[in-house]
Amino acid sequence: MPSSHDPAVSAGRHAEESSPEGTADLADATVLVTGGAGFIGRQLVQTLSPGVETRVLDSGTSDRRAGLPDETAVLEGDVTNPADLAAAMAGVDVVFHLAAYSSVPATLDHPTRSLDVNAVGTAAVLDRARTQDARVVVASSAAVYGRPAETPIPEDAPLRPRSPYGVGKLAADRYARRYEDWYDVPAVALRFFNVYGPGHRNGVLATFLSRARQGDPLVIHGDGSQTRDFVHVDDVVRALLAAARTDATGEAFNVGTGETTTVRELARLVQETVPGGVDVLHDDPRPADIEHSCADVRKAREQLGFEAELELEEGLQRLVDGPDS
């Protein structure tokens, strides 16, 4: 057993004292973030750096990788390519698997390719993990629920995805949970609700902000009574770190706030937060839209010790005041 004067112990204590919340447990680990140059991945890598040895596997352009810390090892490649994945996962202890076809319209345009990345790619990551005793945290989605019968949505609600994106995420979710049963791979699936934050370009919140900054009217499809559970990416990163250290593996957890906001309320908040003022217009409802979505957060709170902290109003203000404004 090392003594309290052992340099490794001292270094570990220093890392614990100086590291962001939740990263001290990973101070001695080698971590891989697939999709690490994407929206959530980039925020996670920035949180892990510089206290945790982190590498990124991402198929994106150099522009996407520009925001990553200099000390991060970045491998350009694809999780569906066995050679790329083997190189990226060599010697890794923890994998945050965020690589995905993350746009619902894109998965409708390319259903086969999206299933290959979102489902088969996840199975490939898990299969590689079982050969080297690595833990895996898989990014799932509230899209696995489809149109829920009631809200808040518990993790044991019926899973009825309505898009190729949701189907692929459901397969990834199931693989993550079953690899624990089949091969003793410690894996956790996190079902993200409506994630927002700096650098995000998709979804109603990002669209409203973009249009408001340009002075364009905010367009609501339908009457705006649809509800969403908006969770800030900083809270999502905290959930990812909690999943990396939990004993509750082989489980899926909702990641949201447990609070609902109507699209109409969101438009009002954006009007109040973005200087200049813009109008709100209504258009025809979109038939494929899910009317209501809100996470039941009790399981994550009780088993992961995770609870979202950032209120939507504060998160919006940060975005307006931040460098993307």
CA distance 274 to 209: 8
Q: Could you say which of 101, 145, 165, 179 is catalytic?
A: 165
Tally Cβ neighbours within 10 Å of residue 199: 17
Scanning the chain, the segments in alpha helix (DSSP H) are 7-18, 39-48, 62-65, 82-89, 104-109, 111-115, 121-130, 164-183, 203-213, 233-245, 263-273, 298-299, 312-321
Give Rg (Cα) of the chain.
20
Answer yes or no: are the C-beta atoms of 90 and 82 closer than 8 Å. no
Largest CA distance in the chain: 69
CA dihedral sign of residues 240, 241, 246, 250: positive
Catalytic annotation present for 175: no
> Which are the contacts of 162, defined by CB distance < 8 A and separation ≥ 6?
143, 146, 147, 288, 290
Helix axes of 39-48 and 233-245: crossing angle, nearest 10 degrees: 60
CB 53 within 8 A of CB 81: no
Residues 230 and 206: beta-carbon distance below 8 Å: no
Hey, is 230 helix, strand or coil?
strand
Distance (Å) of CA 280 to CA 21, 49, 203, 219: 40, 41, 17, 6
| Residues classed as catalytic | 165
